[in-house]
Amino acid sequence: MKDLHGKNAIITGASRGLGVHIARALAGRGVNVALAARSGDALEATRAVCERAGVRAISVACDVTSQLDRERLVAVAAQELGPLDILVNNAGIEVTAALEDFSLQQIEDVIRTNLNAPIALTQLVLPAMRARRSGVVVNIASMAGKAGVPYNSIYSATKHGLCGFTESMNMELDGSGVRMGVVCPGFVSEAGMWADHGGKAPLLLREVPPAKVASAVLKVVEGASEVLVNAGPVKPLLLLGVIAPALKTTVVKRMGLTRLMRDGAAELKAHAGVARDAARDREAAASRH
């Protein structure tokens, strides 16, 4: 899909972070956008930015983990904008923790948001795309979908799943006129979950600006099936992992990634403890009155 002017897209996770940059990049190419996330007010801000590019933009406040909401999103987008050409599955969440510290609910939330939702949304848009023999689904995975990341096992599992889903579907869709592609960012600066966390990426991997992720999405829309977005030498590192898998744990440790993630997990655990203590104090105070 080269001439994007007048095409229609759904972008999930468009209330903040990378989704805003992706929406702006698509709008900048003349794509009408249906913006989805739970935070309605923040979506309105993205909508205003996209409208300034001269396209039609609507915001649909919804939870991508709900099938009812997903159906409503796809129906409203098609009704307000017209037939859908592009779906960008960008909404995602991350919980950094040792596996034993995850609650079952947290595990389920990450899987439902990062993996079930993109699969179910793809299922919903596919029939109309197949009928028109045209359409692209772009999944925002992660470098954690290409290599394992300690203390990020559930997130990494969902992103590996998203990469496998995309590859399988691309084969299944061969000859249908519909395509899928995946974008795998590493550490992104300025906006998004990593920037919010405020950490410093390992020296070897470095950080990339969100604009690079947005242009990777455009590359997939235009025909690429996989774009890795990383400043560091990730391709040789991934190749090394294929040739010598036994070295992976050592390489990840030497890069400083294991310590970085372990520290992040410890910080999150301490915060959760503080929040639990505060809730307990509030309950105790309430019961005294």
Nearer to ligand NAP, 37 or 55 (CB): 37
Q: How far is the CB of 145 from ligand NAP (least distance, A)?
A: 8
Q: How far is the CB of 286 from ligand NAP (least distance, A)?
A: 29
* Chain residues in the site for ligand NAP (CB under 6 A): 12-19, 37-39, 42, 63-65, 90-93, 113, 140, 142, 185, 187-188, 192-194
Distance CA 242, CA 146 (A): 11
Nearer to ligand NAP, 192 or 202 (CB): 192
Q: How far is the CB of 103 from ligand NAP (least distance, A)?
A: 17
Nearer to ligand NAP, 90 or 122 (CB): 90
Q: How far is the CB of 195 from ligand NAP (least distance, A)?
A: 6
Nearer to ligand NAP, 84 or 95 (CB): 95
Annotation marks residue 155 as catalytic? yes
User: Among the options 37, 70, 110, 155, which is catalytic?
Assistant: 155
> What is the CA angle 264-266-270, rounded to 5?
115
Catalytic residues: 155
